[in-house]
Amino acid sequence: MKNIKIGKVFDASEISLGCMRIANMDISEANKLINTALENGINFFDHADIYGGGKSEEVFAKAIDMKPSIREKFMIQTKCGIRNGFFDFSKEHILNSVDNSLKRLKTDYVDVLLLHRPDTLMDPAEVADAFEILHKSGKVKHFGVSNQNPMQIELLSKYVKERLLINQLQLSITNTGMIDSGLNVNMEIDPSINRDGSILEFCRLNDITIQAWSPFQYGFFEGVFLDNPKFPELNKKINEYVEKYGVPNTAIAVAWILRHPAKIQTIVGTTNANRLVDICKASLLELTRQEWYDIYRAAGNRLP
């Protein structure tokens, strides 16, 4: 497994295991999944306080038998800010959320805390106070955001002392909005519409690592595109490279994301240990420029 430099500050595996779906797993199966990740070079695990209503963090800690000697072998990221029917970046909620996550995870610190979805009622000075308390106390080492545009990040950055190292964004072969607008500049067509303020270029300019969530999904959790009859041309093209490289189609889908020079870290949320081994094979190959564009066009995208 290759490592990348997160925010040009610390090294982590270019593939991360997302733990949203482990809440209802048997502890022994969760243990197998986590250890499979570690055995295949994954050293970064993605959580959020809302995953399973907090149970995902509890299952993770129980499955790994959290203790100092184990904790040192990997990095944990969690997120906060989504509540039942609203978003909350208040100082009180951020601090309480982290404390509760630490209890569930049975650890003294998390390596990264992300603000989960934008809160339009956010007071950036409150966020700055919360981050400073968490950083000085040693409860959080690094900070970032999720699903935020450049101006939202700039607003936060004006107040917080700690650098925002990460922006977690939806990206897959069939969800390429941040890429489309950059390819269709000066075109009067729908893909040229810049919906997110050139977030891809902004993150690259500011050394913010993009984390891609839902790398196999199309739409907003509408289903997977792999082996889906709705995407015949895309799957035909992906299967050509399955044959060429001798890896599963999941590895090709992830390799497509990893091929981008932005050094995007991919969050995969499988709960199947064997499938995770297949996915990790993406780190062993690099698609050519033409292969990358062939897959992009096979997904229904047109180049100007």
Indicate which residues carry an active-site annotation. Answer: 51
Inter-residue contact 248 to 278 (CB < 8 Å): yes
Tell me the residue length of the chain.
304
DSSP secondary structure, the chain, as one string: --EEEETTTEEEESEEEE-TT-TTS-HHHHHHHHHHHHHTT--EEE--TTGGGGHHHHHHHHHHT--HHHHTTSEEEEEE-EETTEE---HHHHHHHHHHHHHHHT-S-EEEEEEES--TT--HHHHHHHHHHHHHHTSEEEEEEES--HHHHHHHHHH-SS-EEEEEEE-BTTB-HHHHHHHSTT--SGGG--SSSSHHHHHHHTTPEEEEE-TTB-TTTS-B-TT-TT-HHHHHHHHHHHHHHT--HHHHHHHHHHTSTT-PEEEE----HHHHHHHHGGGG----HHHHHHHHHHTT----
Q: At what angle do helices 232-245 and 289-298 cross, to 10 degrees?
A: 150
Backbone angles phi, psi at 82, to 5 degrees: -95, 125
Question: Residue 169 has which token pair?
Answer: 């964004």
